[in-house]
């Protein structure tokens, strides 16, 4: 991945490319843009005619390259509910817009429409004509208030098989671009449901009774039975006893890319897919030596899409998912090196534990722990983290990542971070 998250900006395989020609295009500047996530469209304008090139990547990213076009502002990222827009100067003469969308789309579902000679509209998927909008979710002591605008919605509640997640499906509902999530101490995340619907996933205690959803004037209230506040100082029920060993844990290690998708290609021709598979195998051996059941999403150089990786983690009932990648940026930026670790919502402390321990074993430059919307993080129900072990384009990182001894140091740090996290989990 890259400085701007290569899952969005670098190493892209074109799946269905659309190019619309305009006569006499010249050096241009991207002047303005706006997105309407409910109507699933992005509009942008340049000061001179250009020739946009559109790609659908990984089923959930719409990438628009503007050749011979400049973006005069810093790298830009904005979230609009479950839709995210990123803009950067991808190459000296190419500006890039990336729209990360919650639903899986095909190239046939994306249109690039000219609006005169200098304006464009990108439309993806089937427009959501939702009559109800989710404005906010707020914990109120006895339940979570889902504030809705529009007609009344009849929601559906169900529990995951492991009883750790509660799913609320809201038909004909979309999330507001200004949605506010204020549900602490609970972890609530917004996911796409079937077309035109919305799904909320709430992490709960396995000992919790099933929650109930009831209409109120402001929208819907999600509550536990008998959750009315009480003045009695009764201690909460004790959790079931935990075994003393780590054998009850399962960790899914996910080496990124593979097969026809090499991932990032760096200095000396080193390939991300080979580096991360080697590190992942080493991590698996280290974890198994500690009695931790470990599953690899791929053990060989095979092509594997994102969805089967998450499906495998769910199928083996993984406690944790750790996806391992290598970063990249332009070869003209050899000074960019270092470790980055990502989480989405419920994997922050896992990410911090891994990041801290890899820094200890490698002394790599620290580029921080960050939140991101990568598919394997968003769509997995277990705690998950994605580790970018270094830049294959970096003058410092590239030769180190090509070294077997350094890969072992990285693997030791990742494994130690996972073990420390599981130790803390056992003590809760």
* Residues linked to residue 133 through DSSP beta bridges, in sequence order: 149, 174
> Other C-beta atoms within 10 Å of 228: how many?
10
Fold classified for 132-223: Immunoglobulin-like (2.60.40)
- Radius of gyration from C-alpha coordinates of the chain: 23
Instruction: State residue 251's pLDDT score.
Output: 95
Which residues 6+ apart lie within 8 Å of 31 measured at CB?
A: 45, 46, 47
| Residue positions annotated with a catalytic role | 388
- CA-to-CA distance for 243 and 240, rounded, in angstroms? 10
Any idea where the domains of the chain sit in the sequence? 6-124, 132-223, 250-427
Report whether 137 contacts 182 (CB < 8 A): yes
Crossing angle of helices 272-289/404-427, nearest 10°? Answer: 50
7 close to 327: Cβ distance less than 8 angstroms? no
CATH class of the 6-124 domain in this structure: mainly beta
pLDDT in tens, 155-174: 888 887 777 778 888 888 87
**15, pLDDT greater than 60:** no
Starting at the edge strand found earlier in the chain, the sheet holding 165-170 runs 156-159, 165-170, 198-203, 187-192
pLDDT (tens digit, 9 = 90+) per residue, 52-93?
888 777 667 888 989 889 888 888 888 787 788 889 888 888
Measured CA to CA, the distance from residue 180 to residue 69 in angstroms comes to 35
pTM for this one?
0.50
- Within this chain, domains 6-124 and 250-427 share the same CATH topology: no
CATH number for the domain whose boundaries are 250-427: 3.40.630.40
Confidence of residue 241 (pLDDT cuts 50, 70, 90): very low
Tens of pLDDT, residues 351-382: 999 999 999 999 999 999 999 888 899 888 89
Tens digits of per-residue pLDDT, 285-332?
Answer: 999 988 899 999 998 898 888 888 998 999 888 999 999 999 988 888
């Amino acid at each position: 991945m890259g400085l701007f998250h290569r899952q969005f900006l670098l190493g892209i395989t074109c799946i269905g490319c659309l190019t619309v020609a305009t006569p006499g295009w010249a050096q241009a500047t991207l002047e303005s843009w706006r997105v309407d996530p409910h109507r699933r469209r992005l509009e942008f304008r340049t000061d001179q005619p250009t020739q946009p090139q559109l790609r659908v990547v990984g089923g959930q990213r719409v990438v628009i390259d503007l050749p011979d076009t400049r973006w005069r502002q810093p790298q830009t990222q904005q979230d609009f509910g479950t839709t995210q827009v990123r803009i950067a100067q991808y190459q000296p003469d190419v500006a890039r817009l990336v729209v990360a969308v919650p639903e899986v789309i095909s190239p046939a579902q994306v249109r690039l429409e000219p609006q005169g000679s200098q304006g464009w509209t990108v439309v993806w998927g089937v427009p959501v004509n939702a009559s109800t909008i989710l404005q906010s979710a707020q914990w109120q002591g006895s339940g979570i208030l889902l504030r809705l605008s529009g007609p009344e919605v009849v929601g559906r509640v169900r529990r995951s098989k492991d009883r750790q997640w509660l799913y609320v499906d809201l038909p004909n509902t979309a999330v507001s671009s200004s949605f506010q999530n204020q549900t602490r101490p609970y972890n609530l995340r917004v996911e796409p449901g079937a077309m035109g619907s919305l799904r909320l996933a709430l992490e709960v205690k396995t000992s919790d009774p099933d929650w109930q959803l009831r209409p109120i004037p402001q929208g819907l209230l999600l509550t536990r039975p008998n959750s009315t506040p009480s003045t009695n100082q009764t201690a909460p029920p004790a959790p079931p006893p935990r075994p003393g060993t780590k054998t009850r844990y399962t960790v899914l290690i996910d080496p990124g890319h593979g097969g026809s998708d090499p991932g990032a290609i760096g200095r000396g021709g080193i390939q991300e897919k080979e580096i991360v598979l080697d590190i992942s195998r080493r991590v698996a051996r280290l974890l198994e030596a500690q009695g931790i059941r470990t599953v690899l999403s791929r053990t060989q150089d095979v092509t594997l899409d994102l969805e089967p990786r998450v499906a495998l983690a769910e199928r083996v009932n993984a406690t944790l998912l750790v996806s391992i990648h290598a970063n990249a940026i332009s070869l003209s930026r050899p000074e960019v090196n270092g470790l980055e670790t990502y989480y989405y919502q419920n994997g922050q402390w896992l990410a911090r534990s891994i990041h801290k321990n890899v820094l200890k074993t490698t002394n790599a430059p620290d580029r921080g722990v960050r939140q991101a919307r990568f598919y394997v993080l968003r769509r997995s129900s277990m705690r998950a983290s994605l580790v970018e072990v270094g830049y294959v384009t970096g003058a410092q990182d590239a030769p180190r990542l090509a070294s077997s001894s350094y890969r072992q140091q990285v693997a030791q740090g990742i494994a130690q971070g996972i073990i420390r996290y599981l130790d803390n989990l056992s003590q809760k």
